[in-house]
Each structure stands twice: as structure tokens, then as C-alpha cells.
Amino acid sequence: MDGVFANLMFITLFSEFTLKVQSMFSSIFAQINTGDPTSLILQFFYLLSFFLFIFYGNRLQTYLMLREIGNAAGRLKGMKDTARNLAIATLKESTKEAIDPTPRIDHFLEYFTIMPASLDPTGIVPKLDHALDVRDQRFRDEVKLIAPTADDVKTNDIEGVLEVAISLNTIYRVVNHFYLLGKKTMSLYLIMQIQMQLPMIMEIAESYSVAIKAFADGQPIGDGAGALVAAKFMHGNETRKIAKDVVVAETQFEGRRLLVLKAEGPGSTVGKPGEAIKKLIDENEGKVAAVIMIDAAGKYEGEKSGETSEGTGAAIGGIGVDQYTIEEITLKYKIPVHAVIVKESVKESVSPMTKDIYEGTDIAVARVKRLIHERAKEGDIVIVAGIGNSVGIGQ
């Protein structure tokens, strides 16, 4: 029945189309006979555009998309070149030696990390942790090699600059790859994939190009909101190193013993807070009333930057190694993990800290104090972990 209906529909449409074309041609011939050239030219162009859009509509759309991607690739090239030049300038500024760091930086801009095979996911976290440790060490060694006279803070800042320059270079290479591949194949669907994501890609790239200056100058970035909250708790107290690039300070609040940790500032680093929390819990034989984590987190469109909210669970980004470590150790001793987040956009998280976010950290401090008051008794131990990049934030 469906087949018959489809056939009838086809016949009807085909006859209508034939009639339409017939009437068009008869109108053209009528105009030739009456000798009206303007109308004839108009009809010709009308018909031409009609057939052109039927057969070449997709190709036209492909060209428009390609042009958009090409323009974006051009802008990205400018951004990655600026980032490269800034990385070179920062390194030259940090070393008194007359060696030109340009060739080494150019090699390093395409540095990559191969993630462990996940075919059999058992035991993948330690492998990931190891791969990231090797990567971090390689970065540090590279910076030390180019700028041996740079102190630890400057070394961390240069690492941040290099990380951002590598990210911008990678974004450019991927977009340019799709642009050239799209041009070669003229495949609409291949081009569409990158064109649809371009607004997000460009937003991230633009924020990176602002962030690189912040890293080079040592300015706090939005991601450092968590670290700033912890710094406000630990300031004025003696600190000790607990894990790689992480410091802890002991302080008191309403009779509760607080162990406050953050990445060691003011250099650019996030450290290994997972390992630090594990060590602190082990040191206290699991007798910890609560772990409170503060971190910057992505906001939804329409939400105000710097707003705070609370929840449960390990508030920490990254690849998941630290989160896994915290979840494992808190599960072992059945320690509740509370989270306080400071909301911000992806762009804000890597750009210099805004006043809204800075004010949000004061609200976060108040929320953490309330949590400590409500979730722990006098004499209890509470771990307060400020997560995030500590660039421009001391302790």
C-alpha cells in the first residue's frame, strides 16, 4: 500500500515539475518572440541560480565553512606565534647565559604524552600517574637546561608558559590539519565536524593567549580560587612540604585542628594534592573527621562568576589520578569528603583572576568555616584542601 502511495506521490510531483519547467520555457520563448531582452536575462539567471543551488548547494556551503575554518586557522597561527615568542622572551629574560633557547623551544612545542593502554583498565591509574610524573620531570629538566639560573618560582612560571604555548600550538595544528584535509577532500561532513566546534575552540584558544601573559608575569588566574581560599586559612602559619609541590600548614578554628594544604606558590603549579591528602590521612591513622576540598568549577551560561556552591565528593579536575587517590583513601577510613566550588567559565579559569572570583573566595572561606563548624566537633582533625594553580598566590 505504501509503495503504491509513494508511486502516486512521485508521479504527481514529477508532473507538477514538468509542467513548471514547461511553463518557464514557454514564458522564455514568449519573451524571445516579444523581443524583451531584460526579462530574458532575468529568467536565465533565475533558472541558473535554481539549478546551481540544486546541484552545487552543498559545495557552496562547504566553501563557506572552509573559509570560516581558514580564517580561524589564520588567527590561531597568530596566537601560537605570539605564545612562542613570549616563551622565548621569558626564557631569555630568566637566563644570564648567551645561549639562544629558540631551537629547543621549537622542538619542545610539539612535545606529547602517550597515555597508557586502556584495553585492560585494571591498574591504569598508577600507570597514568607515572606517565604524568615523567612528563612533569621532563618539563622541569628542560627548563633547568635552558635557564639554569632561574629559581624555583620562575622555573614553575616558565613551565606554565611552555604548557600554554604547547596547548596553543596543538590547537592550531589540529584546526589547520582539518582545514587542509577538508580542502583536499571537499568532504562536507569532515569540515562540519570542526566548523561546529570552532566557537568553543576559539574561546579556549583566546583564553590561553591571555593566560600565557599571566603565567609569564606570575599573575593569579581564575583556577587559583581554591588555592587562594586555602592560602587565606594557612597564612601566618608555618608550612611544610607534604608532597610534590604541595605545602601544608596546621592551624586551629573553633577548637578544631585544621590541616590546610595547597600547591606551593607563588610559582605556577598544581602539585599532587591527592598524594598530600593520602599522606596526611595516613599520618593521622585515618582519624580525620572530614576532608573539605575547594576548587574552581565550570559554571553554566547565565550563572554569575564567583558564586559558590557546596556538594559531596572530591572536587578536583585533571585527568583523574588525584581524584582516584582521594576516593581510595577516604573510602578506606570512611571519611566524608565535602566540596565547595567557586563558579567560573572555562575562559576565566585560565585568564587572570577577576574581581568577582576574588570576592567569591571570601564567600568560599565563610562556607568552609561553616562546614567545619557543622561537620566536626572540637578536637577533631579536618583537612582543608585548596585545589588549583597557585601562580601568583603565596602562603
Partner 1 sequence: MKTAQKGPPIPIFLIFVVGIFLFSIYYLYDAVTAFFNGSANASFQLFLGLFGFATSFLALAQFLKRLTMTPPPVPKILTTVECKNDGFKNVRPFAKGDYVFKTVENCQKCNEPMMITAIYVEEPPKKS
Minimum distance from CB of 359 to partner 1 (Å)? 9
- Which one, 10 or 45, has the nearer CB to partner 1? 45
Residue 292's H or E segment, with its range, is strand 290-298
Cα angle vertex 337, ends 334, 343, to 5°?
165
**If binding is defined by CB under 8 A, does position 42 make contact with partner 1?**
yes
Minimum distance from CB of 73 to partner 1 (Å)? 4
Site stretch for partner 1 (CB under 8 A), options 115-123, 131-139, 160-168, 387-395? 387-395
Report residue 151 as a C-alpha cell. Answer: 629559581
**If binding is defined by CB under 8 A, does position 78 make contact with partner 1?**
no
Best CA proximity match to 47, nearest among 20, 75, 70 = 20
Minimum distance from CB of 164 to partner 1 (Å)? 16
**If binding is defined by CB under 8 A, does position 255 make contact with partner 1?**
no
Residues making up the chain, counted from first to last = 395
Residue 291 φ/ψ, nearest 5 degrees: -115, 125
Rounded distance between C-alpha atoms, residue 218 and residue 265, angstroms: 10
**If binding is defined by CB under 8 A, does position 235 make contact with partner 1?**
yes
Counting Cβ atoms within 10 Å, is residue 375 exposed (0-12), middle (13-18) or buried (19+)? Answer: middle
Report residue 295 as a C-alpha cell. Answer: 576548587
Minimum distance from CB of 281 to partner 1 (Å)? 27
Q: Which residues pair with 382 in a beta bridge?
A: 258, 290
SS3 (DSSP) at 242? strand
**If binding is defined by CB under 8 A, does position 266 make contact with partner 1?**
yes
The site for partner 1, by CB under 8 A, has a size of 36
**If binding is defined by CB under 8 A, does position 179 make contact with partner 1?**
yes
Minimum distance from CB of 218 to partner 1 (Å)? 6
Rounded distance between C-alpha atoms, residue 32 and residue 29, angstroms: 5
Alpha carbon 326 to chain centroid distance?
Answer: 23
**If binding is defined by CB under 8 A, does position 111 make contact with partner 1?**
no
Site stretch for partner 1 (CB under 8 A), options 68-76, 120-128, 196-204, 246-254? 68-76
Q: Which residues contact 376 (CB under 8 A, 6 or more apart)?
A: 256, 289, 290, 382
Among 117, 355, 378, 379, binds partner 1 (CB under 8 A): 355
- Which one, 126 or 394, has the nearer CB to partner 1? 394
The footprint of partner 1 (CB under 8 A) covers: 36, 38-39, 42, 67, 69-71, 73-74, 77, 176, 179-180, 210, 217-220, 228, 231, 235, 265-266, 351-358, 392-395
